[in-house]
Amino acid sequence: MEVKTNKRRGDPGKPPGLHRTAGCTVELISSHNRVFDYLRDIQNRPQWERMSSGSLVQALANITTGPDPRNCISVLAMSNHKEILILQECCTDATGSYVIFAPITPDITVKNVSSKQAVEVVTQIVKEALQKIIEAVN
């Protein structure tokens, strides 16, 4: 797990403040296409992603970003979190695939959370999601 923190000072087009990103790489024994199709399928999402657990997920918008219709940017809604939408980008080609997503709310800032707490929460969520993905594709 890699977590980066940058302090922005009002660069043009970017809000000032702390900007945190987290990511990890995992090698699975299944083909990247199988894992990719599993992750991008909104019917599977409640099985591996904590926020949508126990929820019906619906695509509100889907914009194709290349010749492969699986390469797209989507806006997703969840039945149990009406105040939160998910912005998701999916991309695949012969070399690999990725699914990136983020919750979108009117106020997406996290207040009163230390950096250490944020890293611990993100790490736990990623570990749980990866375990569910590994179980599903094996």
Is residue 122 pLDDT above 90, yes or no? Answer: no
Q: What is the arithmetic mean of pLDDT over 36-46?
A: 92
Side-chain-side CA neighbours of 78 within 13 Å: the count stands at: 20
- Three-class SS of residue 105? coil
What is the number of residues in the chain?
138
2, 11, 52, 111, 131 from 44: Cα distances, Å: 26, 38, 10, 31, 14
The share of the chain scoring above pLDDT 70, in percent, equals 75
Beta bridge mates, 131? none
CB atoms within 10 A of CB 112: 5
Structure tokens, 122: 């993100």
pLDDT, residue 110, reads: 45
70: phi then psi, degrees, rounded to nearest 5: -75, -15
Question: What pLDDT digit, counting tens, does each position of 77-114 carry?
Answer: 888 887 888 889 999 998 888 999 988 874 544 444 55
27, 37, 54, 93, 134 from 71: Cα distances, Å: 21, 11, 26, 9, 22
Is residue 19 pLDDT above 80, yes or no? Answer: no
CA 65 to chain centre: 18
